[in-house]
A and B are shown apart, each in its own frame.
Chain A
Amino acid sequence: MSRAPDEGPPPSATPVAADRRPPARGLLDAAATPLHPVAREVLHAAVDQAWADPRRLYSEARQAAHLLETARATVADGLGVRPAEVSFLPDGPTALSTALDGVLHARRRRPGPLVASAVEHRVALERLEAERALDPDAGRVARVDRLGRVDLAALGELVPGARAVAVQHANGEVGTLQPLPEVHEVCRGAGTPLVVDAQASLGRVAPPAAYDVLVGSASSWGGPPLGVLVVREGAGFALPGPRREAEGGRALAAPWVPLALAAAEAWQQTAHDLEEERAEAHALIERLRQGLAAVPDVEVVGDPVARLPHVLTFSALYVDAERLVGALDREGLALASGSACTASTLEPSHVLAAMGALTHGNVRVTLPLRSVAPDRAEQVERLAAALPAAVEQIRAALGVRGL
């Protein structure tokens, strides 16, 4: 592990002084990050003050119910919807699964497929496959282009007669933003409800407005893992199975109120800083993109312009991603990968595959919010410095230079 030259005095035999810490670990994977510090304080306080079941009638419970509605109003206001349209679910994927259940069950007597883009969250694509297992015509995948944008012409052919359409706001693996206003127009023209998965984008860019049902996760805006489901008034929505008494009839149980309060606080904090945060993350990623352009046979994946500010994915030809992620980890940098060799599954990332991108040698940078990783600019610098040599060393070891 090389030590940065300005790290302080050289190592000595004396006990480590407080100003001579080893370089901090650089977390460049935002899939799970620390809470926003203010949300953390709110969570801590709420554990003592808002623990009660909001559906009981005694005073502690009434207090919890009141706080839950305050949290709901905050999130609804941030998303530009009414509080009654917002439900809290245990996590983002559960919210997405519930969203699809609700729109499909409401239109269960109509024929027609569930249509989803090829880069949707696994929950949506697995639901589509489950529909197809019952009836091969009950699910259709809309292709994407090399940047990961859904093909509007293909979608335009699939949507008329569809039962429901699922398209992301942005892809969390490659950052590409989808043309939602155009997608929603196609759906409205056909009278088909549009489910938008914004699990990767809320808190990073302005929330979308073009949807009938929206799904998010508080973890994307510095909150705890808590799912958010928005069902716009007038969207047909009905859930099968047991009666759901909580959250406007959309959840089996009320959320733990301290989580909702922390999520709402994180929303307010993150929304307040959104423009500054977005601009800084965008510039840091742009710097990495430009640095990577100088490394031979490295393809940056995803839309270079219409993208999430904090996501960068690239694939290095002939490079084994497991080795590359390991080499960067030894440099103190924590990064994700979409290559099969780094996952527990057999298949490489379906997103990379759908885009025709190289699936091996893949590394994904997702910057945590600056509020939870104040040193992220420094970590991006370290990554930019470490990457070319790490790629080169692996290629040398594999004997693939010049191939």
Chain B
Amino acid sequence: MSEDRPPEGSGHFVDARGERCPLPVIRLARLAGALEPGALVTLLATDPAARHDVPAWCRMRGHRLLSVSEAPDDRGSDEGGSDEGRDDGGRDDEGRDDEGRDDDGRVTTMVIEVRGRVG
């Protein structure tokens, strides 16, 4: 579970590396809202807050968090994410974001199973 590739069959993928909360959760929510119940989504995030906020969001929305894993952020030595809208090209392993704040150099990969909208 340490590779930042979507697991077999997951299909849907959000690369929120370099983005600060609440953006990773917002992007995840946008995608999940368009999917059928049971669909799997893989999220990559570097903001440490996402490690806490994605499980909390799953709890609030009734989605299932299937797995969480962490690995060093090896962007630059890897093909990286495939998702829409990475506008932070040329970033190195430092993971310095556009407002000069460091993340902690770790990528969290979380896989969720979408449930239909609740409430």
| A residues with CB within 8 A of B | 297, 299, 315, 317-320, 339-341, 346-348, 352-353, 356-361, 398, 400, 403
Contact = CB atoms under 8 A, between A and B. Distances in A.
Contact of A359 (B21, B33, B60): B21
Given A299-B60, A403-B33, A318 B25 contact: yes
Contacts of B51: 353
Residue from A315, A346, A356, A358 whose CB has the most chain B CB atoms within 10 Å: A358
B56 A357 contact: yes
B21 A341 contact: yes
B22 A360 contact: yes
B22 A340 contact: no
Contacts of A297: 60
> Which of A339, A340, A356, A357: most chain B Cβ within 10 A?
A340
Given A356-B59, A358-B57, A361-B22, A348 B33 contact: no
23 contacts: A317-B22, A317-B57, A318-B22, A318-B25, A340-B21, A340-B47, A340-B48, A348-B49, A353-B51, A353-B52, A356-B52, A356-B55, A356-B56, A358-B52, A358-B53, A358-B60, A359-B52, A359-B56, A360-B21, A398-B22, A400-B29, A403-B30, A403-B33
Interface residues of B, number: 23
B66 interface: no
Contacts of B103: 346
A359 B53 contact: yes
A341 B52 contact: no
Given A346-B101, A346-B102, A400-B26, A360 B49 contact: yes
B30 A340 contact: no
Q: Which of A318, A320, A360 is packed against the most chain B CB atoms within 10 Å?
A: A360
B20 A341 contact: yes
Contacts of A403: 26, 29-30, 33
B97 to A, nearest CB: 11
Contacts of B88: none
A339 B60 contact: no
B104 interface: yes
